[in-house]
């Protein structure tokens, strides 16, 4: 009996000890949970402070800690979702908001935030469901307006899709503007509108929309390719290449990026080769390179314009002036609103030079005037306009080079040789000898022609006078009256033409 009593006592003692252990364990657990919740709340408050100071990365670090310390507190998830929204990481924010609503289904702030994310991203169905859930608890005019706006935005999106298929880009863009007013961060809508911008030639706005899309999703291939295309069409080839290269880094086999990247490399290589050949005066080779460049992408008007300007300048060096004018005129067909003003000015000045080669002096002056109007402070345009005016004035003077039948770049030796030949054959005594000049007019004409030969020789063999003449200045009337020079003066008469004195050099 005593043994049985002792056994019962021991069993009761063990049960009591176990009971005490359970109580202590629960107490310890409650204490630990309380400590974790307090630490999580502290981290959350630190995250709030960092967020107010604009320190987003630090805020996220604190909110991450809060979530790990107390994952059952909906506020920790909600705060982190808010930070994700600020950094435009909407998918992460949606995951956190879903967790908030799992823990606390009636937390309307989370529902409201999720509805706004769905709206901004163009997830119209999901947004409507969230707004309708909010309306069950709060029937407000604002929420009803939001629901109506979602419906209209979705209608605009559907209409834009149809219009794009019909290639009605202007109307499609109008509808997309309405949809994007509601769904401002929807990558699909932004890229659809960017496509419209490109088709309508509005490359600046295409860059704006693709840039916004890439802020939402930095690895979006279609956005990278379209942004690269916009830069390509603007002839900003370095920027275009950068975007196509990034696309190929993400997807080495991306067809659009690969083709565009290769085309730009080809453009760069041809342009470099042509410039190198031009600099080394390999004009025929440079012409071939520039012509090759015009064929790479004839639809790329700006790059093709550069190649045609190069062709024009090479053709001038080759003295093929008509072809040069045609090449420069092709460049001038580029719409002025997309054409670089400096390049347009250079094109006009180059065409003016080609026109001067064809002795179309007045048209050359007009092109120089147009060039100066484009850049009023251009020293080069001012100089070339002044030169063109001098050449126009000179064109109305005697052409001494033509009188002696010598080219404009003839040296002294060639001029003297031509002069000697002309003076011997055109001397009035020879022309009118043997009674060949029947009238006074015929005699006067022979005298004038001989006078022109002497005058041409006198001007073209005097460096100072020739320089004035080439500038379009009168080299004769500014000289003192009298015998212009020294040599072997002789007079001749004939038909009452009077006595004239000239200087002749036959040595």
Q: pLDDT-based confidence at 19, cuts 50/70/90?
A: low
Compute the average pLDDT of residues 194-208. 96
Give the Cα separation of 151 and 159 in Å (integer): 12
Q: Which residues of 34-52 are buried (b: 16+ CB within 10 A; e: fewer)?
A: eebbeebbebbebbbebbe
Q: Region 161-174: what's the mean pLDDT?
A: 97
pLDDT for residue 5: 57
Highest mean pLDDT among 111-115, 453-457, 469-473, 502-506: 111-115
The mean pLDDT of 295-318, rounded to a whole number, is 96
Question: Is residue 487 pLDDT above 50, yes or no?
Answer: no
Res 437: pLDDT: 80
pLDDT reading at 253 higher than 70: yes
Q: Over 70: is that where the pLDDT of 482 sits?
A: no
- Average pLDDT for 272-282: 96
**41 phi and psi, to 5 degrees?**
-65, -40
Q: So what's the pLDDT on residue 232?
A: 96
Residue 353 confidence (pLDDT) above 60: yes
Q: What percent of the chain has pLDDT over 90?
A: 68
d(CA 173, CA 196): 6
* 260 backbone dihedrals φ, ψ, rounded to 5°: -65, -40
Work out the average pLDDT over 389-398.
86
Percent of the chain with pLDDT over 70: 87
Q: What is the pLDDT of residue 426?
A: 81
pLDDT band at 31 (very low <50, low <70, confident <90, very high): very low
Q: Which two tokens stand for residue 160?
A: 């834009």
Cα–Cα distances (Å) from 459 to 79, 400, 450, 475, 504, in that order, read: 92, 8, 14, 7, 12
Q: Which residue has the higher pLDDT, 17 or 342?
A: 342
Nearest to 125 by CA among 146, 150, 106, 107: 150
Domain spans, the chain = 281-396, 409-470
* Mean local confidence (pLDDT), 100-118: 94
- In angstroms, what is the C-alpha Rg of the chain? 44
Q: Is residue 494 pLDDT above 50, yes or no?
A: no
pTM of the model: 0.70
Mean pLDDT of all residues in the chain?
Answer: 87
Instruction: Report DSSP letters for 127-153, one per residue.
Output: HHHHHHHHHHH---HHHHHHHHHHHHH
Residue with token string 């005298």: 447
Please, which pLDDT band fits residue 248 given cuts at 50, 70 and 90?
very high
Q: Distance (Å, rounded) from C-alpha 155 to C-alpha 172?
A: 12
At residue 18, the pLDDT reads 56
| CB proximity list for 336: less than 8 A, separation 6 or greater | 344
Mapping DSSP to helix (H, G, I), strand (E, B) and coil, where does residue 461 land?
Answer: coil
CB proximity list for 226: less than 8 A, separation 6 or greater: 191, 194, 195, 198, 206, 210
Query: Residue 225: pLDDT above 80?
Result: yes
363 pLDDT higher than 80: yes
**pLDDT at 22 (0 to 100):** 53
Torsion of CA 442, 445, 447, 450, to 10 degrees: -130
Q: What is the dihedral of CA 31, 34, 36, 42, to 10 degrees?
A: -140
Inform me whether the pLDDT recorded for 130 exceeds 90: yes
What class does CATH assign to 409-470? mainly alpha
Residue 306: its H or E element: helix 301-317
In contact, 113 and 83? CB cutoff 8 Å: no
Burial label, 211 (beta-carbon count in 10 A; 0-12, 13-18, 19+): middle
- CATH 1.10.1040.10 is the classification of domain 281-396: no
């Amino acid at each position: 009996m005593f043994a049985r009593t002792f056994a019962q006592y021991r069993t009761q003692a063990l049960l009591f000890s176990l009971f005490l252990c359970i109580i202590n364990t629960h107490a310890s657990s409650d204490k630990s949970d309380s400590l974790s919740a307090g630490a999580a709340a502290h981290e959350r408050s630190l995250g709030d402070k960092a967020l107010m100071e604009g320190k987003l990365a630090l805020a996220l670090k604190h909110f991450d800690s809060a979530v790990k310390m107390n994952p059952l507190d909906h506020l920790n998830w909600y705060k982190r979702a808010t930070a994700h929204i600020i950094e435009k990481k909407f998918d992460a924010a949606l995951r956190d908001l879903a967790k908030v609503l799992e823990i606390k289904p009636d937390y309307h702030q989370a529902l409201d935030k999720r509805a706004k994310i769905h709206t901004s991203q163009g997830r119209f169905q999901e947004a409507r469901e969230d707004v309708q859930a909010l309306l069950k608890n709060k029937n407000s005019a604002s929420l009803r307006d939001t629901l109506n706006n979602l419906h209209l935005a979705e209608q605009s999106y559907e209409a834009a899709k149809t219009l794009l298929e019909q290639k009605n880009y202007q109307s499609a863009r109008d509808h997309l503007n309405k949809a994007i007013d509601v769904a401002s961060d929807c990558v699909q809508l932004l890229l659809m509108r960017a496509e419209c911008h490109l088709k309508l030639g509005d490359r600046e706005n295409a860059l704006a929309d693709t840039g916004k899309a890439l802020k939402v999703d930095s690895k979006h291939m279609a956005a990278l390719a379209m942004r690269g295309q916009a830069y390509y069409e603007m002839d900003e080839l370095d920027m275009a290449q950068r975007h196509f290269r990034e696309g190929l880094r993400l997807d080495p086999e991306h067809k659009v990026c690969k083709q565009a990247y290769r085309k730009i490399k080809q453009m760069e290589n041809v342009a470099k080769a042509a410039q190198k050949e031009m600099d080394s005066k390999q004009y025929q080779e440079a012409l071939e390179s520039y012509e090759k460049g015009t064929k790479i992408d004839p639809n790329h008007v700006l790059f093709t314009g550069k190649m045609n300007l190069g062709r024009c300048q090479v053709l001038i060096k080759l003295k093929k002036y008509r072809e040069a004018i045609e090449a420069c005129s092709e460049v001038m067909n580029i719409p002025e609103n997309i054409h670089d003003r400096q390049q347009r000015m250079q094109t006009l000045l180059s065409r003016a030079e080609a026109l001067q080669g064809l002795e179309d002096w007045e048209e050359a002056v007009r092109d120089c005037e147009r060039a100066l109007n484009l850049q009023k402070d251009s020293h080069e345009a001012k100089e070339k306009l002044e030169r063109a005016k001098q050449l126009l004035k000179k064109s109305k003077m005697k052409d001494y080079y033509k009188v002696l039948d010598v080219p404009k770049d003839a040296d002294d030796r060639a001029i003297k040789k031509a002069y000697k030949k002309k003076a011997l054959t055109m001397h009035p005594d020879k022309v009118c000898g043997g009674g060949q000049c029947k009238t006074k007019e015929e005699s006067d004409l022979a005298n004038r022609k001989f006078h022109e030969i002497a005058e041409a020789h006198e001007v073209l063999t005097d460096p100072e006078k020739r320089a004035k003449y080439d500038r379009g200045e009168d080299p004769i009337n500014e000289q003192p009256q009298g015998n212009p020079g020294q040599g072997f003066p002789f007079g001749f008469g004939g038909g009452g033409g009077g006595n004239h004195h000239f200087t002749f050099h036959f040595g």
